Amino acid sequence: MLSANIAPDEQLTSTRVIASNYVISDQRVVGVRIIDSEIASILRPGSLVDVVKINNSNGIYGGGIAKNVSVIAIASKKSSFGSSAGSVVMVSTNNDTAVTLAINSGEKLTVLLH
């Protein structure tokens, strides 16, 4: 799995490939958009994080939605989805947690570092 896009004829180096030990065979990979890009900038593949919902569109404060998920890649640039801006962090987790994260992808999320 690549950690970032590569250009045609670009040399493939180890910094562009995610080591196989970051993704376990029964795990799923899902993108999590966290609202604070500075936090995303200090994450590294292999980091363990908890994903927390800050609030939803109705102003109701959330809580933890995923524990002990493994970071496998961080988007190299800021991106946006609708009106939400932030950085996308790819994480590996079990199927149920991946579905929960995908369902909450439009919410304001951040991570707690271990």
In a domain, 68, yes or no: yes
Partners of 108 in the beta sheet? 55
Residue 47 lies in a domain: yes
Q: Is residue 14 part of a domain?
A: no
pLDDT tens digits, 38-88: 888 899 888 999 999 987 666 667 789 999 999 988 876 555 554 456 889
41 assigned to some structural domain: yes
Domain around 42: 26-113
CA atoms within 13 A on the CB side of 43: 32
Distances 109 to 22, 63, 101 between C-alpha atoms, Å: 22, 10, 10
User: Where does the pLDDT of residue 112 fall: very low under 50, low under 70, confident under 90, or very high at 90 and above?
Assistant: very high
Q: Is 99 a member of any domain?
A: yes
d(CA 14, CA 2): 9
Please say whether the beta carbons of 110 and 54 come within 8 A: yes
Assigned domain for 12 exists: no
Q: How many domains, the chain?
A: 1
In a domain, 20, yes or no: no
The average confidence (pLDDT) of the chain is 81
Residue 48 lies in a domain: yes
